[in-house]
Amino acid sequence: MTNTETTTRGAVVIRGGLVVDRTGERRADVAVSADGCIAEVAAEIDPHGAPVLDAAGCVVAPGFVDLHTHLRQPGKEEAETIESGAWCAVTGGYTAVVAMPNTTPPIDSAAVVREVLELGRAALCDVYTTGAITEGRAGERLAPLAEMADLGVRMFTDDGTGVQDDRLMRRAFEYARGLGVTLAQHCEVDALAAGGHMHEGEWSARLGIPGQPAESEDLMVARDLLLAERTGAPAHFQHLSTARSVAMVREAKARGLAVTAEATTHHFTLTHAACASYDPVFKVNPPLRTDEDVAAVRAGLADGTIDVIATDHAPHTQESKELPFDQAPPGMLGLETALALALTELDLPLVRLVELLSSRPAEIGRMADRHGGPIAAGRPANLCVFDPQTRWTVEPAKSRSRSRNIPYAGREVRGRVRHTLVDGRPVLVDGELRP
Amino acid sequence: MKHLLSVADLDADDFEELFRLSDSFAEVSARRIPKVPALRGRTVVSLFFEDSTRTRLSFETAAKRLGADTMTFSVASSSMRKGESVRDTIETIDAMGVDAMVVRHGSAGVPQRITDWTDVSVVNAGDGWHEHPTQALLDAYTLRGRFGSLAGRRVAIVGDIAHSRVARSNVVAFSTLGAEVILVAPATLLPPSLDGWPVKVTEDLDGVIDSVDVLYLLRMQRERMTEHLVPSLREYSRRFGLDHARADRLRDGAVVLHPGPMNRGVEIAGDVVDRAELAVVDQVRNGVAVRMAVLWSMLGAGTDLVAEPDEQQGAQQ
Amino acid sequence: MAERERRLTPPFGGVFVARTRVMTSDDTERAVWRMAHEILERNHGIDDVLLVGLQTGGVPLARNLADALERIEEGASVVVGTLDVAFYRDDIGLRPVLPEATTDIPYDLTGRTVVLVDDVLFTGRTIRAALDALTDFGRPRAVQLAVMVDRGHRELPIRPDYVGKNLPTRRDEVVNVGPDGVDLGEMVK
């Protein structure tokens, strides 16, 4: 920066970067105007004294959108708050996150939606929220979907658990269709998965940890595909983790179903072998699975079967992650490492990565008016600038989360976010927060 | 040996070394005063997050016969609030200055995790469904006493393999020592995957009973009935229990082992219990000697020590 | 003793290299014969006398002494026990200590005379451990000590009753008692 006046919204020029959005990539500078929108995208922009963000050697992309973030507020503020979750988000290049409803109380009514959105307004990035499909996420009665939709909720899920009751799920799809909202499912059949704490297979057998079979996910994916087809409602599959569910979604898309799917960074990076340490930092739901499943998830990301890379950022306190493996809660942090893992682990073109991290999630989350690009004059300046070549070592202690449950400690990764702009305001500059 | 967490950490030479030590300690245990001052001044704490009076007594007897002081941290599963921090407990005990922790826990992996939180030696005295290494050592030691060597012997392990830490440890121990291991169980009682397990599998106990040297009967837990794993204990007993008719078909010299406590009438018919093939008493007696060997290897043998060469010369004679 | 430890524990490992033969096998045989007579003389016979060889170097010497005693006292039967003092040593935790072989004391020692037998007497710590160990097997009337070589450098108030040879040594030398005689040398890595 050449100017100290960087923390307020003002004209900024991002210089020297490679602009990448779903329309392609080009060498260009980006000028942001004082109203928070992109003023100009051109090969060379003279800043005329405006502050400059250096982007030499970097990619300038639309800010990332996480469709799957656990912000833990209200109820578990010792693990994360909306404020600290947003710090992690902008550190990872995210300009928008979608909160999951498994808070205490759960986000299953207009009142809680209002509270979350209110808290979100003070956060460094845009905070959207899902609503629960069923009251209390208990899977018994439909939650007031319309009431929440009126407040802007566009995705509903009972995430943390799947809706077990087939009839209830059918009604939910039918009802949601009329509201123009999307139902997202955490696919897990409790009857098969209950009591399990990791993927059921070679490693669970060896480690003596009760397993969750892949079929517990596959069955619910199959059911929801059938129900989505019957009702014509859009269905979004959260954190796909098995080869079979990826295959089923691929087949459904080929038949023209309006279904979308996400995969998490850990499900394309880690396998169940990691659980051999018995460290619950590797406990997550759906569980880390086999090499074949990882390969299937990667193939799904490459061929478009999977639309979105999500983080399933799930903070848990140190104490709870020091419990025995079968007592510790599932979940791992993800916002700060997602881009680096995608660059390190996936051999995908930048344009495709931007689609997976930004454009598609913005569309599915119905926020494409603000997020997901393209990077063009007049669009809101929700942007991130990352250096795709920087190598760094993941250190959980340096996380901006209130929690430390990052399963990549000591891993060397490639690609780091330098700057993040939300509505034209640089909230992350050279890796430092500018609150 | 710093810790004993898993049988998989031991190779055949380690087993032989522990067996040789166990011989020495079996002799000590047979003395009029069955006690040596080998670990005088050392403190061994048994941390039983899950009740097991037999195993705890066996370890504490072993420690006392070595002259060590013992402390017991016994937590009835009911009184320790689920979710209470194991780490806090470990750090508290660590601060008291102990030399070894003998850990039993209902969750797999806890002894291994504890080694991250303390520098003292940790013995796994049973963790969830995972492992029970000293049980495997004493079983293998008992069989070595009967057969001299396990190499080439056929061992059938019968029953609930999936939920058995004893089975997991014994499969590794027996195969490391050269035995052929056959698992006899319906698929519901087998682990979900046997990839990498050096075993054969059958559901037909009668098909193998006359060809095995060792019949290892696992304890069948009654609560498995509610999990759709077997239709009834009666049916289990008929297919996989040891009755007289099956016992009569055992080879001469074959041995029957059970980790205890036995469910008479389930794994084994009540009146078969007194037959000569049963080596359960040997198992219990050997348990103390084997656990002495383990504690000695960790705290007394000092094979990981480095001393000044001239000091060593002085002590050699 | 301790050959196994030398092999098993790399930091201490080494090979004994003999420099000087200090006793031939004839010398040791004559020494055994003399010590046997001294034992008989001192104890007025062999009744109630038990030889206990310390594992492992003392055991063959104890057997040789027993043979000699039985040849001198016709019709006598001399009992030889064995004792492994590994678990009684005071240097546990300071250096590798591994039990060499089993202990076999065939009966209660109360009221008997025990002759501890070892190949080399050096610091005296092994004998101290052996005295401790013996108390677990009863209360002997008396305990005596027979060694083939007393090489000095005592660290405890212990002296032998029967000695094959007094051999002045440097502390860093090693005395090796074998079937062919006694050698003085050192350990070479």
Same domain, B164 and B293: no
Q: What is the pLDDT of residue B16?
A: 94
Which long-range contacts does B311-316 make (Cβ < 8 Å, 24+ apart)?
Answer: B311/C94, B311/C95, B312/C12, B312/C95, B313/C171, B313/C172, B313/C174, B313/C186, B313/C187, B314/C122, B314/C123, B314/C153, B314/C171, B315/C91, B315/C94, B315/C95, B315/C123, B315/C125, B316/C1, B316/C2, B316/C5, B316/C6, B316/C174, B316/C187
Domain assignment present for C81: yes
Q: Is residue C84 within 8 Å of C57, Cβ to Cβ?
A: no
d(CA A7, CA A17): 21
Same domain, B120 and B212: no
Q: What is the pLDDT of residue C11?
A: 43
Domain assignment present for B183: yes
Span A317-334, pLDDT tens digits: 999 999 999 999 999 999
Same domain, A402 and A269: no
Give me the residues of B, 57-96, that contact C with CB < 8 A. 66
Q: What is the pLDDT of residue C3?
A: 40
- In the numeric block, which tokens belong to residue A222? 């199959």
With an 8 Å Cβ cutoff, are A208 and B130 in contact? yes
Q: Do chains A and C touch (3 or more CB pairs under 8 A)?
A: no
Say which of B39, B301, B310 has its CB closest to residue C172: B310
For residue A369, report the phi and psi dihedrals to the nearest 5 degrees.
-70, -25
Same domain, A124 and A238: yes
Q: What is the mean pLDDT of chain A?
A: 96
pLDDT at A167 over 60: yes
Domain assignment present for C96: yes
B chain contacts of residue A205, beta-carbon cutoff 8 Å: 162, 191-195, 197
B296 interfaces chain A, CB cutoff of 8 Å: no
Our CA-based measurement puts residue B311 at a distance from the nearest CA of chain C, in whole angstroms, of 9
**Which domain does B106 fall in, by range?**
7-129+286-309
Same domain, A228 and A160: yes
SS3 for B253-304 is: CCEEECCCCCCECCCECHHHCCCCCECHHHHHHHHHHHHHHHHHHHHCCCCC
Same domain, A214 and A78: yes
SS3 for chain A is: CCCCCCCCCCCEEEECCEEEECCEEEECEEEECCCCEEEEEECCCCCCCCCEEECCCCEEEECEEEEEECCCCCCCCCCCCHHHHHHHHHHCCEEEEEECCCCCCCCCCHHHHHHHHHHHHCCCCEEEECECCEHHHCCCCECCHHHHHHCCCCEECCCCCCCCCHHHHHHHHHHHHHHCCEEEECCCCHHHHCCCCEECCHHHHHHCCCEECCHHHHHHHHHHHHHHHHHCCCEEECCCCCHHHHHHHHHHHHCCCCEEEEEEHHHHHCCHHHHHHCCHHHCCCCCCCCHHHHHHHHHHHHHCCCCEEECCECCCCHHHHCCCCCCCCCCECCCCCHHHHHHHHCCCCHHHHHHHHHHHHHHHCCCCCCCCCCCCCCCECCEEEEEEEEEEECCHHHCCCCCCCCCCCCCEEEEEEEEEEECCEEEEECCEECC
With an 8 Å Cβ cutoff, are B112 and A319 in contact? no
Same domain, A77 and A164: yes
Give me the residues of B, 12-41, that contact C with CB < 8 A. 20-21, 23-24, 27-28, 31-33, 35-39
B chain contacts of residue C187, beta-carbon cutoff 8 Å: 313, 316
Same domain, A87 and A166: yes
With an 8 Å Cβ cutoff, are B313 and C171 in contact? yes
Mutation target for A interface from B5, B129, B199: give the one with most A CBs within 10 A.
B129
Our CA-based measurement puts residue B47 at a distance from the nearest CA of chain C, in whole angstroms, of 24
Same domain, B170 and B123: no
Q: Comparing C-alpha atoms, which of A94, A20, A71 is closest to residue A309? A: A94
Same domain, A89 and A53: no
d(CA A191, CA C17): 73
At residue A289's C-alpha, the angle toward residues A286 and A293, to 5°, is: 110
Residue A365, judged by CB atoms within 10 A of its CB (0-12, 13-18, 19+), counts as buried
Same domain, A335 and A420: no
d(CA A298, CA A346): 7
With an 8 Å Cβ cutoff, are B194 and A325 in contact? no
Amino acid at A88: C
B chain contacts of residue C61, beta-carbon cutoff 8 Å: none
Q: Would you place residue A1 in the very low, low, confident or very high pLDDT band (cuts 50, 70, 90)? A: very low
Same domain, A78 and A168: yes
Say which of A201, A319, A326 has its CB closest to residue B193: A201
**Max alpha carbon distance in chain B (Å)?**
69
**Chain-centroid distance, C-alpha B159:** 17
C174 interfaces chain B, CB cutoff of 8 Å: yes
Span A46-104, pLDDT tens digits: 988 899 999 999 999 999 999 999 999 999 999 999 999 999 999 999 999 999 999 99
Sign of the alpha-carbon torsion through A352, A358, A359, A362: positive
**Which domain does C84 fall in, by range?**
3-11+25-101+111-170
Q: What is the pLDDT of residue A259?
A: 97
d(CA A287, CA A312): 12
Our CA-based measurement puts residue A319 at a distance from the nearest CA of chain B, in whole angstroms, of 7
Say which of B82, B168, B195 has its CB closest to residue A202: B195
User: Which residues have a Cβ under 8 Å from the Cβ of B189 and sit 6 or more positions away?
Assistant: B159, B160, B161, B162, B163, B224, B229, B230
Closest chain A residue by Cα to residue B126: A208
pLDDT at C36 over 70: yes
Same domain, B58 and B190: no
Residue C77, judged by CB atoms within 10 A of its CB (0-12, 13-18, 19+), counts as exposed
User: Which residues have a Cβ under 8 Å from the Cβ of C61 and sit 6 or more positions away?
Assistant: C32, C53, C117, C118, C119, C146, C148, C177
Q: How many domains does chain B have?
A: 2
With an 8 Å Cβ cutoff, are A209 and B131 in contact? no
Span A379-398, pLDDT tens digits: 999 999 999 999 999 999 99
With an 8 Å Cβ cutoff, are B87 and A322 in contact? yes
Domain assignment present for C162: yes
- Which run of H or E residues covers position C51? strand C49-54
Q: What is the pLDDT of residue C17?
A: 87
Domain assignment present for A418: yes
Our CA-based measurement puts residue B285 at a distance from the nearest CA of chain A, in whole angstroms, of 28
**Which domain does A284 fall in, by range?**
62-364
Same domain, B184 and B258: yes
Q: Would you place residue A303 in the very low, low, confident or very high pLDDT band (cuts 50, 70, 90)? A: very high
Residue A28, domain CATH:
2.30.40.10
Cα separations in angstroms, C178 against A313, B223, C14, C29, C175: 72, 64, 17, 12, 10
Same domain, B125 and B143: no
Q: Do chains B and C touch (3 or more CB pairs under 8 A)?
A: yes
Span A178-197, pLDDT tens digits: 999 999 999 999 999 999 99
Same domain, B263 and B142: yes
Same domain, B179 and B211: yes
**Chain-centroid distance, C-alpha A350:** 18
pLDDT at A32 over 50: yes
With an 8 Å Cβ cutoff, are B23 and C87 in contact? no
Q: What is the pLDDT of residue C13?
A: 58
Q: A364, A391, A406 — which closes off a domain?
A: A364
Q: How many domains does chain C have?
A: 1
Say which of B107, B195, B196 has its CB closest to residue A327: B107
Q: How many domains does chain A have?
A: 2
ipTM of predicted complex: 0.91
B113 interfaces chain A, CB cutoff of 8 Å: yes
Q: Would you place residue C2 in the very low, low, confident or very high pLDDT band (cuts 50, 70, 90)? A: very low
Q: What is the pLDDT of residue B51?
A: 87
Q: What is the pLDDT of residue B221?
A: 81
Residue bearing the bigger pLDDT, C12 or B182: B182
Cβ-Cβ pairs closer than 8 A, A with B, add up to 74
User: Which residues have a Cβ under 8 Å from the Cβ of B301 and sit 6 or more positions away?
Assistant: B1, B21, C96, C97, C98
Residue B58, domain CATH:
3.40.50.1370
Q: What is the pLDDT of residue B78?
A: 41
Domain assignment present for C189: no
Same domain, A326 and A188: yes
d(CA B2, CA A312): 39
Same domain, B270 and B139: yes
Span C130-163, pLDDT tens digits: 999 998 898 999 999 999 999 999 999 999 999 9
Same domain, A7 and A146: no
Task: Give me the average pLDDT of each 10-residue run along chain B (317 residues).
Answer: 95 94 90 89 93 92 96 67 75 92 96 96 96 97 94 97 96 97 96 95 97 95 79 92 94 92 89 82 90 93 50 39
Pairing of strands A18-21, A24-27: antiparallel
Say which of C11, C91, C172 has its CB closest to residue B306: C11
Mean pLDDT of all residues in C14-38: 92
